[in-house]
Structures are given as structure tokens and as C-alpha cells.
Structure 1
Amino acid sequence: MNRSDHIRVVVLMGGPDEEHEVSLASGTAVAEALSSVEGIEVDARVIRTVDADELAGMDADVVFPVLHGPWGEGGGIQSELERAGVAFVGSGSQAAAIAMDKIRTKEIAAGLDVPTPVWQVLEPGTRRTLSAPAVLKPPAQGSSIDLCICRTEPQLDEDRARLHRSYDRLLAETCVTGRELTVGVVGDQVLPIIEIVPAHGVYDYEAKYDRDDTEYRLDPELDDDIAERCRTNALTLGRHLGCRDLYRVDFILENRVPWMLEINTMPGFTGHSLLPMAARADGRSMPQLCHDLITMAASRALPSR
């Protein structure tokens, strides 16, 4: 750090990925929250991409990359920040890249005995062995972008052919049904569990960001052993991947088994977003949450900065 009583924070938002608009909403909320904290100077910037030289020229003590999608949270911006030698909020490039890859994350989870739905990787020409009902999704997208729930074999084949026009690799999973649960982690602290109850059965992009009819149940009624498994599995997976500062792990509870779906290393900060909601329920306001994250990142700053 180069100032003892003043921190200059550059908040990056936007990015080149499909979640550009979500990132703008999240980044704006983070910038507003940090602007209310004494001793923090906020420079909010809308970007497409930036390289290490550009980042080094921003004169930031800490960068908060509130970016979503393959480049924004999958190792792209993180690699550039590491090259620039700038302290930043969130996981490093290696952990971010692995967590963004749903296939690799599931392989690691299975090796840790964290239950995850049976899956198959589909490339053009791969003989499908997974039967409907199944879920098809790109392995490196967020916010349920291009996620398809396929109830029948013809639908599965049709949606696969359509998605292959945009993606070479697809993740096909056995469709598990049950209660949707999410566990947020800030630092080493597990936040209260949230149950997500979408009004129309599927927690898709519209339910996450566009509609106000989704119900969120904080600290839902769960048997103690199930709640503890969710918390333990979230921490185990995050620590094994090397995640830091913040992340969120999503589960489906079916037949008393919390099935891990994915991990998110830069959760949203919009009005509908789950990690700030859980932090608020735990007594941490949005300004306090963002300040805590900045403090974690600042502790890793090089002495010369």
C-alpha cells in the first residue's frame, strides 16, 4: 500500500461477456457502497477488456473486478491483474479458471466426496449415454445463460444440436429436483444458507435479475445434519480450489442429499443477489461487506505499492 490512511479503489465493471449488464448493476452497487466508507476513494470504470499495462497505470491500491462471465471471473482479468502486480478482490487466476469450468469443478468435487449430479461431456459426434430428463449447459457460462432443462429424449437431442452451434463442449447432467440452496462464504466465514423458491419452477436468468416474484428464505428449515453438510461441502470445495475472499456454492437438496451444482467466485451484487442478502442477514451491511473485501485484498498488496 502506498497510503496509510487512504485507499484508492478502482471498481471495474462491464466486461466482454454476456453478463455485461449484470456486471454494470453489480459494479454500480459496489461503487456506491464503497463511496459511503470514510477513507476510501472510488474510481468506477466501465471496461470491455484491459491488459496489465493499463491496470498498472490506474494507480489503484486495490482493484475490485466486479465482472461476470468467462473472461471477467474465469481467469482473464485475474491473470492481467497478477501480471500488473495489483492487489485485487477475489480468487487468483488459477482458482478462478477452475471454478468457472463446471466440468473441472465437478471432477474435483467428486474426488472430495462432495455429491454432484451424474454428468457427461458432450462434443459434436460424442455418443450420448445420459438419458432424459437432463440438464444441458455450457461449461463456462454463468447466470443460467443457455441452460436447458430437457424432459424428453427428442428435446434433449434438439437442444443439444442448437447449443452446439454456439459451444463445442456441453455439460449434460442428470436432472435432480428438490430444494434449491445456496451457501455464501466471505473470508473463512460461512454465511446463512438461503433457499431459493422461484415462482415458475426454474431459477433462470429472468428469475434472477428481471422479475420480483422469486422467494428467498434465509436460514430455511433444514435438519441440522443437512445444513452442516451444505456448509462443510461449500468450505471444502472452495478451499480445495484455492478460492479466496468470497464465493458462493449452489446445491439442490433431493432425498436428503445436497447435490453440488456449481461454485461462483464473483457472485452478483445486484438488488436480487444472494451473497449480499446473506451477509445482510448476518449483520453485515453492503458498505461493510465491500469494505471487508477491500481489506482482505489490501492485506495482500505488495509493500512497494
Structure 2
Amino acid sequence: MVSRFRGQFMSKRSVTVLMGGPDAERDVSISSGIAVTKALQQSNKFDVKSMIIDTPTLQEIENIKSDVIFPVLHGPFGEGGPLQELLEVAGKTFVGSSSDVATTAMDKEATKQIALQLGIQTPHWCIVSTNSLPTINPPLVLKPIDDGSSIDIFICMHQEDVESHVQSLLQNRSHILAETYIKGREVTVGIICGKALPIVEIIPPADLQSYDFEAKYEREDTQFIIDPDLPSNSCVASALDLYKKMGIRDIARVDFILNENGAWLLELNTMPGFTNHSLVPMAAKQSGIEMPELCTMLVDSATTS
């Protein structure tokens, strides 16, 4: 039934999908944004526009005339707080977490500290700067503190690898994170509107050490097993605990390594991808939620939260 008001048809809600941004994951964001735009159009419930952005000013954000903004950006600016702050200052309703929450979630060290408060184990870590080498011994993992999509992640089995990759990473960053390498099964838990989706296990190609950028977006031989046969574990409970404790809104994806010692938190993403390789849409589909319904749920959540 079509809703009416004073005898007139009510217009569809308007949604603007933002994509792009200045971060290293710009191309991934554009692919995700195109997929979200198509899904919302297919739902036939919204007037949908899309915009590829760089680093917008407050005035440019204020000029967007839509009921809801769906910012499908990945990385420090688009996912880690600055864009969300602009949207808040401009008084916009948007999909995803608030700026404060997004800032905390993008910071891998802050997320790990919250996990420990909740009793969730996470690999031991230290912060490395130009004046310090890691205080933990290899094998270890070096990664940016505030990036995603496995950008610039290196698994170092030997000390000479550590020294080489530390120098490389610190050319463009003041600090990086080093954490103990945990060998095990890579799994992820997607959360939509506070409810967990089926676990997805990721099996990278044999010639790759981990689920890195190449395995995520460039290879077709990465295996994804939805609702895999796993030993009893705390992944879903831990993911939901983090989601609630951190005040995350609408959507998240929480990554773990699972081995004989249990589940180890790696990181949390507040705006995971929506490409044809992305894990949240994959898990949602397994639950009977196709992309148009998934994106509609997120827009609806943004307008009611």
C-alpha cells in the first residue's frame, strides 16, 4: 500500500551515497559506493544520488540536500572520524558510527585496549616510532595504527625483516603498531543493526601469508567459507560485546585469529566494504539478506537511531 498524506503521494526519501576520499582505499571505496548506489536503486524505495569526493569542506557537506547520507568510505579520513564530524556539524543524518566512535575504532591500539577491558584476548603489541624498534620479538606483524584493507601490513619472521619494514613504514607515518604474530584460522564477524551475521572464514592463497590487500581485492583464489565448521569459540559474543561497549552504530566487521588458545581480536571496522569480494554482504546473503535489503536496513537504522 502506498502511503498518502492529504491525498498526495508521499515522496521517496532521498539518499546520497558518498565514495572516494583522500585515503589509500579510495578505489575500494568507489567500488563499494557504486555497489551501494545500485542496491538502493534496486530497492525502489529511495531517490538515490552518488558523489565521488576528495576531502570535502563543511560548506560542500552542507550543500548536500538529502534525507540521509551513506558515506561508503574506508580509511582514516572517511571512516575514522573526520568525515563523520563534518556530517555532524552540518546536521546531517548519516549511516554509520558517530565521529567519536569512528575515531576510537580506527585506532587499533585503542580498540585493543577496550578489548582487554572486556576480557577479550588480542595479540601483545607495542607502538613503534622513528626513535624506537619493537620491544617484542619476531615473528611479529607490522601495521599502520589507523588504516584498513590490510594496507601496508607485513609479517616479519626474522629481525632483519623487522628493521627493513619498520624503516619503510615510517617514511610516511610517525608511528606504527607491532604485534605478536598469531598463527591460526582467519575469521570475521559482521554485525548489522546490532545482530551478528554468520562467521566467515578466510583462506588466503597458499603463496600469501595472510588476508592482505592482494588477497582481498586482486586475487580470485582466496577462499571464503561461510558458517564454517569451527571449534567452540567466543568470536560472535566478543564481536557483539565490542560493538555495544564502543557504541558502534548500524554496521561493523570484527576480525579474529582462531587457534587452540581461543579467539584473538585483530581489529574492528565501522564501514566495511561492499564490493563483490566483501565479507559483510557475503554473510548477509547467506542469511537471506540481499544487497538491496541490506542497504535499506542501514538507511532505516540511520533514521531511527
TM-score, with length taken from structure 1: 0.94
Unaligned 5+ residue runs, structure 1? 301-305
1:128 and 1:274 map into 2 onto residues whose CA distance is 32
Q: How far apart, CA to CA, are the structure 1 residues paired with 2:267 and 2:106? A: 9
SS in structure 1 at match of 2:43: coil
Instruction: Work out the CA distance in 1 between the residues paired with 2:10 and 2:179.
Output: 50
- CA spacing shift, 1:299–1:52, aligned 2, 3 Å: farther
Q: Which amino acid aligns with 1:123?
A: S
* Partner Cα distance (1:119, 1:289) in 2: 35
8 Å contact from structure 2 (residues 134, 178) kept in 1: no
Deviation string, structure 1 residues 58-107 (Cα, Å, up to 9, x no partner) = 11100000001100000011000000111100001011000000011111
CA contact (8 A) 1:136 1:172 kept: yes
Question: Which blocks of at least 5 consecutive residues in structure 2 are unaligned?
Answer: 1-8
Q: Partner amino acid for 2:302? A: A
Task: Measure how far apart 1:263 and its partner are.
Answer: 0.0
What secondary structure does 1:36 align onto? helix
User: Partner residue of 2:108?
Assistant: 102
Could you tell me how far 1:127 is from its partner in structure 2? 4.7
- The reply to whether residue 58 of structure 1 matches residue 64 of structure 2 is yes
Alignment RMSD: 1.2
2:203 pairs with 1:197: yes
Is the Cα contact below 8 Å between 2:28 and 2:275 reproduced in 1?
Answer: yes
Give the structure 1 partner of residue 124 of structure 2.
118
- The 5 A counterparts of 1:273-292 are 273-292=278-297
Asked if the contact 1:87/1:298 (under 8 Å) is kept, the reply is yes
| 1:163 aligned residue | 169
| CA distance in structure 2 between the aligned counterparts of 1:166 and 1:254, rounded to whole angstroms | 34
Counterpart selection for 1:208 from 198, 202, 216: 216
Structure 1 residue aligned with 2:155: 149
Q: Give the drift of 1:53.
A: 2.5
Report sequence identity in percent: 46
Q: Which residue of 1 aligns with 2:93?
A: 87
> Are 2:254 and 1:249 aligned?
yes
Distance in structure 2 (CA, Å) of the matches to 1:80 and 1:204: 31
> Stretches of 4+ moved more than 3 A in 1?
none
TM-score for both structures, normalised by structure 2: 0.94
Structure 1 CA distance for aligned equivalents of residues 119 and 99 of structure 2: 25
